[in-house]
Amino acid sequence: MVLEYKLLIDGESKDSSTGETFDDINPATLENLATVQVAGKEDVDRAVESAEEGLRVWSEVPAPRRAEVLFRAARILQERKEDLAVLMTEEMGKVLPETRGDVQEAIDITNYAAGEGRRMFGETTTSELKDKFCMTMLRPIGVVGMITPWNFPIAIPSWKIMPALIAGNAIVFKPSSDTPLLAIKLVEILMEAGLPPGVVNIVPGPGGSVGKAIVQHPRIKAISFTGSLETGKWIMGECAKTIKRVSLELGGKNPVIVMDDADLELALEGVLWGAFGTTGQRCTATSRLILHEKIKDEFISRLLAKTKSLRVGNGLLPETDIGPVINKAQLEKIERYVRIGKEEGATLLCGGNAIDPGLPGYFFEPTIFTDVTPDMRIAQEEIFGPVLSIIMVSGLEEAIEVANNTRYGLSSAIYTESIGNAFRAIKKIEAGITYVNAPTIGAEVHLPFGGVKGTGNGFREAGTEAIKEFTEVKAVYVDYSGRLQKAQIDTE
């Protein structure tokens, strides 16, 4: 029997006002894992009320005590890591080693954020006046709306939820309709760990209705969004109307530069993992290989051989390298871009087709285009699938120019044995992340994560930056002189 999941409001499973449900489909087998109730606008109102009540309680809990809840949650996540990983592979398709990594990332950020509970540092400084003390302190923002995609169904919600919680906020959370179960499991674990009712509320359903109601809600003080550039632009515009803080983590068109002095075997492994890991469905996926022309013949022939040996199939099987893409619309989008690439004059080196590995789901061959020029659409637009475009260059300056020639700026990488090349690339590539001799994927939770240009609006997740995303800074002046002192006026 298929289980039905409801909304999570005020610490309880609640029926939605719409009476509608949607199916949670396994993209490999097309089995229905669960049905989930669709929240309506009035459910979002209920969730906000519940969060406001949760906020009153939670914001009064000292941060080191909040941390205890998070540490317990991290332990429970650890105990259930394998079950959650299997469920994740069933829900969104990526292979088991990667879904284990996704849960591990959630464990890591939960422990990390908990540690920040004893580091909610402000600053102290001198006053320009006598007998006066100055400091800053961090305060929670209030009720925060969170909207997340499906490709990291536990890690991305955790990057947002854990720092927001340690800072004392309450949350209304809309997960992707492709991965509601993992979101529900995560919040259930937080509640089992002792999170008071109402502090995190889940309202599942489509972005166009539920997401929109969250973004436009007058009593939600901030939005933390991860998803596509198009949705992010719309959200930013809406948030302007109510002067909401909005942090955006959007798409990428991430380049790997391989120089003629690179360790070729290392670079090959990195490009393969960066381009085809998570079936190319990472915001940090390597979608452009910027290759020095001197090594093109050898590099491309070795890359082709390795790509052809990748096995596409059910992510639960140990022999599978690449799982399915998330849904039919995404499969069709990839097919469309393959057609565009051919029409633009790029050469299809391998792949390019949907395949049937003996399952009815949405599988696509790892695909490589060569003869790609920097302005082609396949070199500019995010495809979000296992498609790599190879662009040839004759030197580092040109490579960096090509790397910077997109609207995105999330991750980037250079393979070179020259320290000069490495540091020139670090300095000049327009991106939030640059790897040297490592692929564009593989962020660690204690470093800031995010991008420039069309990838984001200046915020960073993870690391200590995450606390800034979810706090307001207050300046405090304590005058113990016993008389009225006037800043800028009492200058004698």
Tell me which DSSP letter residue 196 carries. Answer: P
Binding of residue 460 to ligand NAP (CB under 6 A): no
Tokens describing residue 315: 């992510």
Binding of residue 458 to ligand NAP (CB under 6 A): no
**Contact track, ligand NAP, 363-402, x by CB under 6 A:** -------------------x-x------------------
Binding of residue 186 to ligand NAP (CB under 6 A): no
Contact 439, 256 (CB under 8 A): yes
For residue 37, give every residue at least 6 positions away whose Cβ sits within 8 Å of its Cβ, in sequence order, or none: 4, 5, 6, 7, 15, 16, 18, 20, 21, 204
Q: How many residues does the chain have?
A: 492
Binding of residue 226 to ligand NAP (CB under 6 A): yes
In whole angstroms, give the CA distance from residue 456 to residue 468.
Answer: 15
How far separated are the first and last CA of the chain, in Å rounded? 81
- Active-site residue, from 98, 249, 382, 461: 249
For residue 5, give every residue at least 6 positions away whose Cβ sits within 8 Å of its Cβ, in sequence order, or none: 13, 34, 35, 36, 37, 180, 181, 184, 204
Binding of residue 5 to ligand NAP (CB under 6 A): no
Is 283 one of the catalytic residues?
A: yes
Residue 126 exposure: Cα atoms within 13 Å on the Cβ side: 3
Find the binder of ligand NAP among 158, 231, 254, 286 (CB under 6 A).
Answer: 231
Find the binder of ligand NAP among 228, 242, 373, 404 (CB under 6 A).
Answer: 228
Binding of residue 469 to ligand NAP (CB under 6 A): no
Shortest Å, Cβ 389 to ligand NAP: 16
The residue nearest ligand NAP at its CB is 207
Nearer to ligand NAP, 143 or 349 (CB): 143
Binding of residue 249 to ligand NAP (CB under 6 A): yes
Shortest Å, Cβ 372 to ligand NAP: 20
Residue 486 exposure: Cα atoms within 13 Å on the Cβ side: 5
Nearest Cα to 154, choosing from 105, 191, 210? 105
Binding of residue 227 to ligand NAP (CB under 6 A): yes
Task: Report 400-439 residues binding ligand NAP (CB under 6 A).
Answer: 410
- So which residues are the catalytic ones? 249, 283
Binding site for ligand NAP (CB under 6 A): 147-151, 156, 174, 176-177, 206-208, 211-212, 215, 226-228, 231, 234-235, 249-252, 283, 382, 384, 410, 455
